[in-house]
Structure formats: structure tokens, C-alpha cells
Structure 1
């Protein structure tokens, strides 16, 4: 496996768009290097960011309007 890949390939490997890879770089979550006008990311770092993204997902239940949640004894 190559250590550094271009942003398009990085998006394909992480199953996200190239724009998402760019956002990760801009947010400081992923480093990149520029060589000859092209940007590259480290494969291991990319996989770590992707793993963090997957484990950070939280399943959320349906939204409940204010005043309608559990513990509301106002009777509305």
C-alpha cells in the first residue's frame, strides 16, 4: 500500500467526496502535503480519521417538540 495518495483517491478509499477530504484538511483533522501543485494525504491518517468518523456517529431517535418529552407534567 502506498503511504501517500491524492485527494480523489483518498475520497474513494474513505467512501466520501473529495470535498469532504478537503474539509477534513481545512479543519485540521487530516494533514496534506503539496507536490507539484497536487495535494496528498497519508493513508494511515486518512484511515484513522475515517474510523473516528464512523465511531462518532450516534443514532438519534425521532425529534420530540418542546414540551412533549418525557417528564413533562404540564398536561399539554
Structure 2
């Protein structure tokens, strides 16, 4: 009989908290013209990136996004520019 011992110390874990937790409303950088699109929220995250849900119809987008392709949704301002 072989005994296998594993040690997992939570203080030495390499896992870090995500920049955008699930449920965070975000803007997505469009890959076509590099402008920001509103109306999304983070649905899930893993080592491949963030999965994003479109708020207008609840659809989960078929691709993952990395952190530079997302930013927190900006609030509307009374200024124009």
C-alpha cells in the first residue's frame, strides 16, 4: 500500500483575486475598431480570461477576454467630449 501525502498551504497559493469579480458591469474593447462597448457584465473568470454576458438579452459571449480588453463601466457624465 502506498501513501500519498499532499500539502497545500493557502498562504503560499498563487491564486489572486480577479480584477473584475463576477457581476461587475464592464465595457468591452471591440476588436474591430478598438472602441469601448457598454452593456456587459462579468459572468465568469478562469485562467483563460473573463467570460462576459450581454445585458440587453442575457447572452454569454462565445469568447474570453483578457484584462486589458475590459474596464469598469463608466458612469454617464453631464459633460460632453
TM-score by length of 2: 0.26
Higher relative contact order (CA 8 A, sep 6+): 1
TM-score by length of 1: 0.27
Bigger strand fraction = 2
Q: Report which of the two structures shows the higher radius of gyration computed on alpha carbons.
A: 1
